[in-house]
Chains A and B, each alone.
Chain A
Amino acid sequence: MAEYKKPLPLPNSDTKEFWDGAKRHELLLEKCSKCGNYRYPPSPICPNCFSMDFKWEKTAGKGEVYTYTIVRVPLSPEWEPYVPYVLATIKLDEGVRMVATVVDCKPEDVKIGMKVRVVFNDATEQFTIPEFKPVV
């Protein structure tokens, strides 16, 4: 595997579970124990009902492209080997949105509304980064 040069996360106690899940190839979200609201990115409190009780839940890892951009000029040196790449906002079936790259397709083929599912890029021994690919 080519050396992974992109930036890596720096987890803390709020975010560690998310990255541990990714390592196991699971896309996890916090779900509020009181109102059932999913939230992202990881946070200690529900923005909907103010409860701090929650459980990590494994998602289906499915969603659609809500919007995207084709990055043609890298904005930091780490991403230089990877341009052009597709950066998208993915609306997960659980209702929340996250940003991630869309891989395994030509950048020009990505469209808003396109169905995608999560794939896991085992970037380093320590970290796995969720990415998305088109559902065919």
Chain B
Amino acid sequence: MPNLKDTCAIVGIGETKFGTLPNVSFAALAIEATKKAIEDAGMSAKDVDGLLTSPPSRDPEMFFSIGLGEKMGIKLKYAMDMELGGVIPVSMVQHAVMAINAGLCNTVVCVFAGSQRSSGGRPPEAGRPRPGRENEFMNPFGQVGAMHGYAMACQRHMYEFGTTSKQLGAIAVACRKHASMTENAQRRQPITLDDYMNSKIYSDPFRLLDICQVTDGGAAVVVTAKERAKSLKHAPIYISGMGNRHPAWGIGWAPNMTTTGAKESSEIAYKMAGMTPKDIDIAEIYDCFTYTLLVTLEDYGFCKKGEGGPFVEGGRIEIGGELPVNTSGGLLSQGHLEGMNHITEAVRQLRGDCGPRQVKDAEVAIVSGNGGILSTHSTIILRR
């Protein structure tokens, strides 16, 4: 089989404002992000023939990608509405690379929009047990939403490895510091470790400041083939590695609670890229909760299993540190666009366009996607 390393590149990025946007429709958020990404690439709608979307979670809509393409005058040769939780954006980029290499299309927009902040979250029936769904063995038993599963996994990690609340707090503080340097971020007021420790406990060990933002907004990237990428507005950001591993829907019965799909997913991506963790300059890591980031850093090989706690301390993961993570504030502080904002930020960093928060000489970035309750995991490695 051919190695798809560096065969495609991200050539355009687009973001709407992130935050509270009550008067903008879900479609309008997706369209604005798509338009900005296409124009950032120096392209127009007629240059695009693929569109990957994720339909609104509050009001699921069939044929969402097709309707969006139609509205924008994009002649679609490849389209998909995707659903695998927080791996969606990273997975979209992978699907774009595969579809382009298969010769099905030339240029794909991957777009994610969210309007949960202003639409009041998911509809009442979402997350309720349905016949034959594993949810039937979570919700009636007291496991509600994502937080409880992550909290239990984190508590187990603390038990096995001695991880502490202050170490989780170091992650919250780092992400907020980075968001304070990011204009398009939902929470920019810096926080201290004391602020973290004093914030309300929701579900042990998680405090308010362990929890990501709920965000309205949209973000998109344009993926095209290497040959086309070279003659566009920005230097291409190549997709060098891709991997996935999806262990289990329910964390309660997952085969291993403290090693996640991130391990095998990253091993596949490193192998494809011909790289190791030592080659990575910045990491944009899915951070629905602080713990998600901590365990992913371990599984990605930046430290040994169980040493994620000490690793995130002492400013190591802050800009200027050994491994800057979530340089725009991540889901914890910039906003939860399912991690599409991790990809747009990685591209901006590798282009050298990040101003005060620019990581010096950043050449290679790893981006993680994580869905459900450590249920799904996808990885991409990007380089300039």
Which bucket holds chain B's interface residue count? Answer: 35 or more
Using known A-B contacts A41-B137, A67-B257, determine if residue A89 contacts B129 with beta carbons closer than 8 Å.
no
Query: Looking at the complex, which one of B147, B152, B251 makes contact with A75 (CB distance below 8 Å)?
Result: B147
Return B138 CB to nearest CB of chain A, in Å. Answer: 6
Contact present for B151 and A69 (CB under 8 Å): yes
Chain A residues near B130 (CB-CB < 8 A): 10
Interface residue A112 (Cβ < 8 Å from any Cβ of B): yes
Report the bound CA distance from A98 to B141 in whole Å: 9
Closest to B258 in A: A67
B204 and A129 contact, CB distance less than 8 A: no
Chain B residues 117-170 with CB under 8 Å of chain A are 127-132, 134, 136-145, 147-148, 151-153, 155-156, 159
Known: A67-B152, A67-B156, A73-B200. A87 touches B131 (CB 8 A): no
CB < 8 Å neighbour of B131 from A10, A79, A85 = A10
Distance to closest chain A CB from B253 (angstroms): 5
Q: Nearest chain B CB to A21's CB is how many angstroms away?
A: 14
The answer on a CB contact under 8 Å between B253 and A40 is yes
- Tier of interface size on chain A: 35 or more
B155 touches A112 (CB 8 A): yes
Task: Give the residues in chain B near A73, CB-CB below 8 Å.
Answer: 200, 202-203
Q: Known interface pairs A15-B132, A68-B152, A69-B148. Does A6 touch B253 (Cβ–Cβ under 8 Å)?
A: no
Q: A11 and B131: CB pair below 8 A?
A: yes
Closest to B156 in A: A67
Considering the complex, give the chain A residue whose CB is closest to the CB of B137.
A41
Q: CA of A66 to CA of B251 in the docked complex: distance in angstroms?
A: 12
B250 within 8 A of A: yes
0 or 1 for each of A109-120: is its CB under 8 Å from B? (1 = yes): 000100000000
User: Which residues of A lie under 8 Å from residue B132 when comparing CB positions?
Assistant: 12, 14-15
> Which of B134, B156, B206 interacts with A41 by CB under 8 Å?
B134
Given contacts A67-B152, A75-B148, is CB(A87)–CB(B253) below 8 Å? no
Does residue B201 face the partner (Cβ distance < 8 Å to A)?
A: yes
Judged by a CB distance under 8 angstroms, whether A72 is at the interface is yes
Interface on B for A, CB 8 Å cutoff? 127-132, 134, 136-145, 147-148, 151-153, 155-156, 159, 200-206, 250-253, 257
User: Lowest 3 A-B CB distances belong to which pairs?
Assistant: A12-B131, A67-B156, A69-B151
